[in-house]
C-alpha cells in the first residue's frame, strides 16, 4: 500500500457502518490496482455541506472529481487523513444541485466543457442542465460559445461517459481497471463489451493492458472450452510474443514455449505443442519455427523479429562488402594520416578504421574519448569534401552528441524516416525540410555515425540499415557494457562477436576524466568491483526498508541535494531499476510530483488512470508517434506540461527540443511522468545530478550492466540510497544473455552464404 494512503492499525479502526451521499472534491491518490483515496463533501438537502471527509477503497476506482456518489462503508482512523471512510460499496448518483452539476461539468469529464462554460450552462439552465444535454441538446446553442460542433462534442461525450460507466460495471468482476475499460470503449465504442466477450483472445496485444490472463477469465466465464484451439494458441502467442521480447530475446526454444504455455493454460503439453505447430505453419504464419544453427534444437520466433534479424544481417553484409564512395579528398587525408595532433593512438586508429571500412564499430567506456574521436572524424570528412550525418536513438542523446561534436545530429527514427512504429516493413522515404536521411538523398551522405548504439534493437537497426545505400560508411559508437536495448536483440554486442566486422576499443581514460569519481567508479563497477561510496560527488546512504528508502530519495532529490549544490530541483533526476514497487519509478514519480508540483486550488488537473496531470509536470513520451509534432515524437522524448485545457480536452507539452506538442486527453496513455525514470528509460540521456534507490524488490533487474548504466547517467553527482546487499547483488549479477542469431547470420552473410 502506498505510504500516503496507509490506514492506521486494526486497533485504531472503528467498525461503524455508514451510508452517505457526497460530491467528490478532488482525488488524493490512485493506486495501480484502482485503490482510490479522495476528498468529498456530504450532500445535505440540495447543496453539499461544508465539512468534507476522506474516503478510500477499490470500489472508488474510476470515480472523477465532481461526481455525486452514495458510499457505504465503515470509518477508520488514518495517520494522514484522520477519520476516513473505508468504502465497501459505491453507487454513482446523478448530480442534482446547481453547484454539484457545475462541479461535475467543470471537471473535464464531459469533453468540450471547461469551468467557464460549466458556469454559463448552469447559469442558463440551472438544475435542468443535464436534462437539456440529454433530451434537448439543440438548446445548448442558447449559451454563448456553443456552436453546432461543440454541441455535438458535448452530447457525444455525455453519452460516451454513460457507456463507459456501464462497461466499467460489467467488467469489474473480471478485474478490469477503469482505465482499461476506457481504452476498450475508445477502440470499440458501444460494441466494446460484445467484442470483448466474443473475441477476448484476439484483443490481447491490440489493447494496452489486456493480457492473456484477463482475456482468459472473460472467455472461460463465457463458456469457451479450456482446451479450445483459440485459447491454446493464445497461450502460445503470449509466451512467444510477450515473454520473449520482454526479456530482449529474438527467439525462444520451442520446448520452453510449450512448457510455459502449458502452465499458463493448465493443459497437457502435447496440446500446446500442436498449437505451436499450427501458429508456425505457412508463409503468413505469425511464428517462425526453425532449427538453431549451432545447437540444432527447435526454436520459435515472432515472424517480424525473425525477418528483421535476417534482413539486418543481409543489409549489413552488403554494406560491409560495398566499395567506398568517400570523396578523393577524404581518402587522401586518410592516406596522409592528417588527423588531429591531440588524438591518442587508439583514437587515430578509430578515425582511420571508420574511413577505411564501410561498416565499423567504436566502443569504450566513459572518459575514453569516443566523442572527441567522432568530432575529429567529422572534421576530417568535411575537410576532404565529404558529408556526415550524426544520429542517436533518443532526442536527448542526439542533442548531447551535437553539443559534444559541434555537428548537427538527429534521432535514428528520423534518420530512418520511418512512419510505421512496430512494423518492420520498409517505410516510404520522406523529407522534412531536408532534415531526414532518405533513399533519394542518400548519395549525398558519405558517413553515418550512430551514437549510443547499445540502445538499438533489431527492428530499429534493420530499418536504418535498409536505407543506407552501398558505398556509404556506417560507424556504430557505443558502450557494450551498458544495458542493451529495451526491445529485442543485442545489436552492438552481436556485431562485436563477428570477427569480420572492423572495430576499435578505446581503453585509455584521459586525465580530466580520471579526476571524476563518477568516471573512476563506473570503471570499477564495470569490472565488478566496489565503487568509492564516500566521495562528495558519489555517495551511498544505507537504509533497509523500501518505503523509507523512497522517502529519503524524494527528500534528497527535492531538498537536500538542490540546497547542497545550489541548483534547481529540475536539475536532479531520480532513476530506479524498476517501474513497480515501493521504490519503483512510478511510486517515486508520484511522491516527487506531490513535493514539486502539488495540487493547487483553482488550477486544472486531469486524472488518467493512476496518474494526474498538471501544468508544470515533467513528462516523457512512452511510444513513437510519427504524426505528432513537426518531425514526430519518439519514445523517451522528455518535456514539460505547459497547458491543460479541459474545455478543449487537450494538454500541451513543450519538449526539451523546444517544440510545443498537443495531446488529446484521450491520448494520455502516450505520456508518463518523468520525475523518476527507470534506468532503461534514461539510456542515452545525461543529467547533472542523479539520485537512485537500490533495493532487492526486483533482483532480476538489478545487474552490473544496470548499475553501470545508472552511474554513467550523471555528470556531477550520484547519490545511492538503499540496501548494501542490493549493491553487492548488482555487482555480482551479469544478467542473462539474450537469445539472438544476428551474429551467426551476419557471419554467414559475410561469407557469402544464404541466410
Residue 370 assigned to a binding site: yes
Looking at residue 558, the DSSP 8-state letter turns out to be I
Helical segments of 322-369, H only: 328-336, 345-356
| 591 closest CA partner among 550, 623, 620 | 550
Answer yes or no: are the C-beta atoms of 637 and 399 closer than 8 Å.
no
Answer yes or no: are the C-beta atoms of 695 and 726 closer than 8 Å.
yes
Answer yes or no: are the C-beta atoms of 640 and 654 closer than 8 Å.
yes
Burial call 75-94: b when 16+ CB within 10 Å, e when fewer: ebebeebeebbbbeebeeee
E strands, 567-697, in order: 572-576, 605-608, 611-614, 618-621, 638-645, 650-655, 660-664, 671-673, 676-678, 687-694
Residue 396 assigned to a binding site: no
Q: Measured between alpha carbons, how far is 15 from 512 in angstroms, rounded to an integer?
A: 66
Q: Measured between alpha carbons, how far is 559 from 719 in angstroms, rounded to an integer?
A: 13
Burial of 627 (0-12, 13-18, 19+ CB in 10 A): exposed
Paired with 644 in beta bridges are: 651
Residue 371 assigned to a binding site: yes
Paired with 47 in beta bridges are: 44
Q: Measured between alpha carbons, how far is 175 from 186 in angstroms, rounded to an integer?
A: 19
Residue 728 assigned to a binding site: no
> Using alpha carbons only, what angle is made at residue 67 by residues 666 and 197, rounded to the nearest 5 degrees?
55
E strands, 436-521, in order: 447-450, 473-478, 502-506
Residues in contact with 342: Cβ distance below 8 Å, sequence separation at least 6, in sequence order: none
Q: What is the CA radius of gyration of the chain?
A: 28
Q: Measured between alpha carbons, how far is 286 from 278 in angstroms, rounded to an integer?
A: 10
Residue 520 assigned to a binding site: no
Q: Measured between alpha carbons, how far is 556 from 538 in angstroms, rounded to an integer?
A: 13
Bind-site residues: 367-371
Bind-site residues for ATP: 367-371
Amino acid at each position: 500500500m502506498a505510504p500516503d494512503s496507509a490506514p492506521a492499525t486494526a486497533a485504531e479502526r472503528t467498525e461503524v457502518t455508514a451510508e452517505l451521499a457526497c460530491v467528490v472534491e478532488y482525488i488524493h491518490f490512485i493506486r495501480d490496482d484502482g485503490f482510490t483515496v479522495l476528498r468529498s463533501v456530504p450532500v445535505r438537502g440540495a447543496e453539499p455541506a461544508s465539512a468534507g471527509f476522506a474516503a478510500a477503497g477499490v470500489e472508488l476506482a474510476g470515480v472523477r472529481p465532481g461526481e455525486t456518489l452514495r458510499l457505504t462503508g465503515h470509518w477508520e482512523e488514518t495517520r494522514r487523513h484522520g477519520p476516513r471512510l473505508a468504502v465497501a460499496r459505491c453507487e454513482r448518483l446523478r448530480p442534482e444541485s446547481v453547484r454539484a452539476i457545475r462541479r461535475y461539468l467543470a471537471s473535464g469529464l464531459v469533453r468540450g466543457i471547461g469551468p467557464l462554460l460549466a458556469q454559463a450552462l448552469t447559469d442558463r439552465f440551472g438544475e435542468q442542465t443535464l436534462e437539456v444535454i440529454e433530451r434537448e441538446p439543440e438548446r445548448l446553442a442558447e449559451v454563448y460559445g456553443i456552436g453546432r460542433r461543440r454541441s455535438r462534442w458535448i452530447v457525444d461525450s455525455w453519452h460516451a461517459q454513460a457507456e463507459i460507466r456501464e462497461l466499467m460495471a460489467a467488467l469489474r468482476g473480471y478485474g478490469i481497471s477503469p482505465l482499461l475499460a476506457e481504452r476498450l470503449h475508445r477502440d470499440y465504442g458501444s460494441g466494446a463489451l460484445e467484442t470483448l466477450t466474443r473475441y477476448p483472445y484476439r484483443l490481447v496485444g491490440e489493447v494496452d493492458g489486456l493480457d492473456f490472463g484477463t482475456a482468459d477469465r472473460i472467455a472461460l466465464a463465457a463458456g469457451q472450452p479450456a482446451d479450445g484451439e483459440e485459447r491454446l494458441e493464445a497461450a502460445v502467442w503470449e509466451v512467444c510474443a510477450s515473454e520473449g521480447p520482454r526479456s530482449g530475446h529474438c527467439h525462444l526454444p520451442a520446448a520452453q514455449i510449450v512448457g510455459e504455455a502449458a502452465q499458463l493454460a493448465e493443459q497437457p503439453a502435447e496440446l500446446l505443442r500442436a498449437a505451436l505447430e499450427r501458429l508456425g505453419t505457412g508463409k503468413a504464419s505469425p511464428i517462425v519455427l526453425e532449427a538453431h544453427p549451432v545447437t540444432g534444437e527447435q526454436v520459435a520466433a515472432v515472424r517480424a523479429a525473425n525477418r528483421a534479424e535476417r534482413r539486418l544481417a543481409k543489409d549489413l553484409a552488403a554494406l560491409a562488402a560495398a566499395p567506398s564512395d568517400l570523396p578523393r579528398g577524404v581518402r587522401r587525408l586518410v592516406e596522409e594520416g592528417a588527423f588531429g595532433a591531440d588524438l591518442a593512438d587508439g583514437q587515430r586508429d578509430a578515425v582511420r578504421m571508420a574511413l577505411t571500412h564501410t561498416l565499423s564499430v567504436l566502443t569504450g567506456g566513459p572518459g575514453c574519448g569516443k566523442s572527441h574521436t567522432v568530432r575529429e572524424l567529422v572534421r576530417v570528412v568535411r575537410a576532404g569534401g565529404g558529408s556526415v550525418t550524426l544520429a542517436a536513438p533518443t532526442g536527448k542523446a542526439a542533442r548531447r552528441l551535437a553539443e559534444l561534436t559541434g555537428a548537427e545530429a538527429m534521432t535514428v527514427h528520423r534518420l530512418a524516416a520511418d512512419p510505421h512504429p512496430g512494423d518492420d516493413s520498409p517505410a516510404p522515404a520522406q523529407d522534412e525540410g531536408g532534415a531526414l536521411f532518405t533513399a533519394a538523398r542518400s548519395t549525398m551522405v558519405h558517413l553515418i555515425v550512430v551514437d549510443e548504439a547499445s540502445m538499438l534493437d533489431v527492428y530499429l537497426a534493420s530499418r536504418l540499415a535498409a536505407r543506407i545505400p552501398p558505398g556509404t560508411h556506417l560507424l556504430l559508437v557505443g558502450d557494450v557494457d551498458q544495458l542493451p536495448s529495451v526491445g529485442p536483440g543485442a545489436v552492438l554486442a552481436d556485431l562485436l562477436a563477428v570477427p569480420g566486422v572492423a572495430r576499435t576499443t578505446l581503453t585509455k581514460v584521459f586525465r580530466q576524466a580520471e579526476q571524476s569519481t563518477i568516471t573512476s567508479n563506473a570503471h570499477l563497477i564495470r569490472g565488478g568491483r566496489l565503487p568509492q561510496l564516500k566521495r562528495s560527488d558519489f555517495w551511498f546512504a544505507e537504509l533497509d526498508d523500501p518505503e523509507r528508502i523512497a522517502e529519503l530519495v524524494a527528500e534528497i532529490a527535492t531538498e537536500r541535494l538542490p540546497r547542497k549544490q545550489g541548483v534547481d530541483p529540475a536539475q536532479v533526476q531520480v532513476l530506479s531499476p524498476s517501474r513497480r514497487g515501493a521504490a519503483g519509478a512510478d511510486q517515486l514519480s508520484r511522491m516527487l510530483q506531490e513535493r514539486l508540483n502539488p495540487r493547487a486550488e483553482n488550477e486544472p488537473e486531469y486524472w488518467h488512470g493512476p496518474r494526474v496531470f498538471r501544468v508544470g509536470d515533467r513528462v516523457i513520451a512512452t511510444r513513437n508517434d510519427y504524426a505528432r509534432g513537426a518531425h514526430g515524437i519518439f519514445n523517451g522524448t522528455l518535456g514539460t506540461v505547459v497547458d491543460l485545457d479541459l474545455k478543449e480536452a487537450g494538454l500541451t507539452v513543450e519538449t526539451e527540443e523546444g517544440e510545443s506538442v498537443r495531446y488529446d486527453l484521450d491520448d494520455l496513455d502516450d505520456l508518463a511522468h518523468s520525475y523518476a525514470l527507470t534506468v532503461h528509460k534514461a539510456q542515452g540521456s545525461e543529467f547533472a545530478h542523479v539520485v537512485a534507490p537500490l533495493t532487492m524488490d526486483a533482483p532480476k533487474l538489478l545487474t552490473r550492466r544496470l548499475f553501470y548504466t545508472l552511474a554513467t547517467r550523471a555528470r556531477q553527482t550520484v547519490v545511492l540510497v538503499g540496501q548494501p546487499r542490493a549493491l553487492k547483488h548488482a555487482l555480482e549479477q551479469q544478467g542473462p544473455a539474450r537469445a539472438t542469431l544476428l551474429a551467426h547470420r551476419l557471419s554467414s552473410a559475410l561469407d557469402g552464404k544464404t541466410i
